[in-house]
Structure 1
Amino acid sequence: MASIRAIATLAITAILATQTSAEETETCGVASYFPTEYTCYNNTSLCPKIYSLSTVPCAGSGGCYSPHSFSCSDGVLRSLPKASSPFTLTAHGVRATYQDKYVKACGGYLAIGANARECTSCPKGQAGVDCASYGRKTVLMPDGAMAVDVPGKQWWYVDPRDGALRYTDAPTLPANGTGVGWNATTTFPPVQDQEFAGQRVSVLENGFFDYESSSHFWFACLRTLTGGVVGTGRTWRIYSSSAANVEWLDCEKIKLVATAVDKKQGAYKYDE
């Protein structure tokens, strides 16, 4: 296993080295730099990119900072506030394949990539539900809920079994329910994995969506879509950086960024 990991590491290093050597340098003042690794400001300041995301100069401090973690005022850095708004997620990685990829919900998982699907639904014709007022984006809430109006809610969470970033299905109507008169006082049975909703994740307003570990990054791992044939229709599912999956060979490190949006850009319900 160690030799396989070593070969894989050398292969990835060789690919990245080839990409870097093929890239032409640009100048920032008197300094030369690779545009994929740095951003030049006012032809005087170079700031590094982290997971393809630019850092910016903090005037008066002489340093660079990530606007997804901090704000800068008069040379003083301040942490961004915790998220209070509904938000969408985008993934960012070192390679172009993982840069600025919108995160979508389908089949109980959150994923990115060309084959990632957005699975939403709305009960047309149901009294009190205006399906035309909903969007089709995957919108999350800071408290661990999905931005839905389906009775009983849906929740996003990190699966404690394998670290996958997932969401719950909508709960079913209680056995004595009739399907009529759902309201805030309706009692639903517990949703499986709801107790993990939003746990161990830190979300900043228009900032990083971080897993609370020493690494603070996520993995994008190539997986076959639910119900698909192995080797076809694969997409990049998102996993936390846990000890159990840190040695998986079919994964890439990514960062996730939350962007505040209107809740109605989300769906009435996300399908399993």
Structure 2
Amino acid sequence: MTRFTLAAAALLGLAHEVLADLQPCGPAQYDPAQYVCWDNQFLCPITGGEPLSNCAGACYSKFMYTCTNSVLTLLPPVDTPFTLTVDNPGLPIHGKPVTAGGLHWTLDGETSSYCPEQVGSACPPGDTTVLAAYQGSVSMSVMVPGGQQAYLDPYWNMGYTQAHSAYLPPGSIREGFGAYQGGGFVNLNGNGWGWAACPPRASGGGGPGWNLVARNETNADKFNECHPINLKINSLPSGTLGAWQYT
């Protein structure tokens, strides 16, 4: 009887703490760690560290949409080269860059590139991962003839082709990406659930750094140790090249 009483008291105390953390939003109660309240009447979830905004009662991400005169519209596609940075204020890699190395995108890693000696002073810097998007596809912004195509591999990691080669692993996806001016880089494939950052040794990770994966309805359980993020677009001047080639 004593054990039951103590257990019941502990549960009641926990319930009281949970209720005490809730805040009012009009007639509703909400957890501010999971939702944001707009105008004391609209609740929107926090996804990937972003409190979704409100547009006439509709929740939306500023990485994809804009609201003007209570009308929700898609942001225009980015039309110049760009870099990407991680956006989730709750993670230590918030604001860190997406980096290319080993024919694979990583988070807060080191950009790996190469330029032939004979190119000389015409070689781009090669220390920043620069991308370009066009009609749903994305490529590395490079000087090498033929370019380098970026893609989702069969394991939902972002990779890119070797220079002078168009080979992609069977089952890879080259299209279905959204890149928005003043917004973010979005995966629209596989009923996408957004991007996730996997810490070293977490499912989907590997190596000393953080790995980038695209979560969806088929792999969400596999990546349950990873953290949802957004990828913020940082536009660069037209014609910007990041490297001769990324390696």
The alignment's TM-score, normalised by the length of structure 1, stands at 0.63
SS, match of residue 126 in structure 1? helix
Mapping for residues 44-55 of structure 1, pairs under 5 Å: 49-55=46-52
Q: Distance in 2 between matches of 1:40 and 1:79?
A: 23
The alignment status of 1:214 with 2:214, answered yes or no, reads: no
- How far is the alpha carbon of 1:102 from its aligned partner? 1.7
Q: Distance in 2 between matches of 1:194 and 1:246?
A: 22
Contact 1:119/1:270 (CA < 8 Å) preserved in 2? yes
SS, match of residue 131 in structure 2? coil
- How far is the alpha carbon of 1:159 from its aligned partner? 0.7
Contact 1:52/1:99 (CA < 8 Å) preserved in 2? no
- How far is the alpha carbon of 1:153 from its aligned partner? 1.1
The structure 1 residue matched to 2:82, chosen from 50, 71, 87, is 87
Instruction: State the match for 1:123 in structure 2.
Output: 116
Instruction: State the match for 1:156 in structure 2.
Output: 150
Higher-strand-fraction structure? 2
- Residues 229-249 of structure 1 show CA distances to partners (whole Å, capped at 9, x for unaligned) of xx9952122122256643225
Q: Distance in 2 between matches of 1:192 and 1:208?
A: 24
Task: Label 1:130 to 1:25 Cα distance change in 2 as closer, same or farther (>3 A).
Answer: farther
Q: Distance in 2 between matches of 1:253 and 1:222?
A: 11
SS, match of residue 240 in structure 1? strand
Contact 1:103/1:112 (CA < 8 Å) preserved in 2? yes
**Structure 1 unmatched ranges of 5 or more:** 1-16, 172-189, 225-230
Instruction: State the match for 1:9 in structure 2.
Output: none
The alignment status of 1:259 with 2:234, answered yes or no, reads: yes
Residue type of the alignment partner of 2:130: V
Contact 2:158/2:213 (CA < 8 Å) preserved in 1? yes
Instruction: State the match for 2:168 in structure 1.
Output: 193
- Residues 117-168 of structure 1 show CA distances to partners (whole Å, capped at 9, x for unaligned) of 21123234426x612x5452211111332100012211110012x1211111
SS, match of residue 92 in structure 2? helix
Contact 2:22/2:32 (CA < 8 Å) preserved in 1? yes
Quote the sequence identity (%).
Answer: 29
**Structure 2 unmatched ranges of 5 or more:** 1-13
Q: Distance in 2 between matches of 1:232 and 1:218?
A: 17
Q: Distance in 1 between matches of 2:43 and 2:234?
A: 26
- Residues 174-223 of structure 1 show CA distances to partners (whole Å, capped at 9, x for unaligned) of xxxxxxxxxxxxxxxx5211895632323333334224222431232345
SS, match of residue 264 in structure 1? coil
Instruction: State the match for 1:268 in structure 2.
Output: 244
Contact 1:36/1:52 (CA < 8 Å) preserved in 2? no
The structure 1 residue matched to 2:140, chosen from 129, 132, 146, is 146
Task: Label 1:101 to 1:34 Cα distance change in 2 as closer, same or farther (>3 A).
Answer: farther
Instruction: State the match for 2:220 in structure 1.
Output: 246
Q: Distance in 2 between matches of 1:40 and 1:94?
A: 19
Q: Distance in 2 between matches of 1:243 and 1:42?
A: 33
Contact 1:156/1:166 (CA < 8 Å) preserved in 2? yes
Q: Distance in 1 between matches of 2:73 and 2:207?
A: 43
Task: Label 1:192 to 1:163 Cα distance change in 2 as closer, same or farther (>3 A).
Answer: same
Of 45-54 and 61-70, more deviation after overlay is shown by 45-54
- Residues 74-107 of structure 1 show CA distances to partners (whole Å, capped at 9, x for unaligned) of 1211111233322222233473235333211111
